[in-house]
Amino acid sequence: MGFKALATDVDRTLTDDDLLLDLQAVRTIRLLEEAGVRVILLSGRDLATVGSLALYLGACGLVAAEDGALVGSLGGAFGFSLRMMADVGRVRAGLAALKEAFGAKVREYHIPARVASLVLSRELDLAAANDLLARRGVPAKVVDSGLACELCDADVDKGRGLIEAAASLGVDPADVAAVGDNFNDVEMFEAAGWSAAVANAPEDVKARADYVCRHPYGRGFVEAVRRAVELFRPDLAGLPWPDPEAVEEPGAGLPPEKERAARTESAGPRRAFGGRAAGGAET
C-alpha cells in the first residue's frame, strides 16, 4: 500500500449529520493535495454537485458521481472529462418493472442534473424491490445511500468508480485508501488497498473496513487520514495535520462580535438538503 491517493465519500464522512462540511476535513484534503496525494470524491450525488464541490474543497477535481455511474471532472488538474459507466436503459427498465409491481409506492424525484440513475422515495422496500428485479432478470438495483433510495445499473458501484478514477490517475487501486460511512461504500472499501469507516457508520459497514475510527463524521475522516499517514506515509508525518481531538469553536478567529454571532447561529436549528432540521426527521 503506497497511499498515493485517497477516495472518500462526502455526506456524513466529510460533513456532520446536518451535511455541513467539517473545516478540519477540508484542511486535511488540502494538505493531502499539497503533499501529492490526490483526493477523489465518490458520492451518490450528481456530477454537477460533486464535481463542483471537489474544486471548492481544493481536491484534484476527479470524482465518481451517482455511486460510480459517472467518472470524471469539471475542471482542476484534469480539465473537463466524463465517462459514463452505466447503461441508462437498464435503469429505465428497472423503473418500469418496479412501477408495475408496486404502483404508487414507487415515487421518483426528478433531479435535472442526474443523468445515470434515479432517486426514489424511501417508502419503497429495498429487499422486495431488489428481489423483484432479480426474479425478472432486470439488471438494475435499488441502493440506500443513507440519504435516498437510488435506482442504478446493477453493474455500477463505488468500487468500480474507484478503479476507473485510479486508472485516470495512473495509480494502482491497491495504493488508494478509502474512507466512508454507509453500505454503498463497501464496494469502495473492497477495491481500495486500505479502508476506514467513520464512527457513525453502521456496524455491518464497520466490519468491512480495515480500520474503524473512534470519531464520527468529518473528525473521523481526519482521524482516518492521520492513521493512513502513520501506516503508509511516515514521510508525511511532520506536516501540520489537524487533530481530530480538537473541536473548533464556531467563529474562532473572527472579531469578538462576529464570533458571538457565529456561535449563536450555530446553536440554532440547521437544515441542509437531504439532512435534518434540529429535532426533525430526515428528508
- φ/ψ (deg, to 5) at 247: -100, 115
- Distance between CA atoms of 147 and 150, rounded to whole angstroms? 9
> What distance in Å separates the CA atoms of residue 16 and residue 188, rounded to the nearest whole number?
21
Is the alpha carbon torsion for 160, 166, 171, 173 positive or negative?
negative
Catalytic residue from among 9, 16, 22, 153: 9
C-alpha cell at 97: 418493472
Distance CA 179, CA 214 (A): 13
Question: How do strand 5-8 and strand 118-120 relate by DSSP bridges?
Answer: unpaired
Query: pTM of this prediction?
Result: 0.86
Q: Is the distance from CB of 64 to CB of 169 less than 8 angstroms?
A: no
Catalytic-residue membership of 172? no
Cell for 59?
481536491
Spell out the per-residue pLDDT of the chain, length 283, in tens. Answer: 899 999 999 999 999 999 999 999 999 999 999 999 999 999 999 999 999 999 999 999 999 999 999 999 998 888 898 999 999 999 999 999 999 999 999 999 999 999 999 999 888 899 999 999 999 999 999 998 878 899 999 999 999 999 999 999 999 999 999 999 999 999 999 999 999 999 999 999 999 999 999 999 999 999 999 999 999 999 999 999 999 998 665 555 456 565 555 545 554 544 433 444 333 332 2
Q: Whose grid coordinates read 477516495?
A: 7
DSSP single-letter state for residue 80: E
CA quadruple 251, 256, 261, 264: dihedral positive or negative? positive
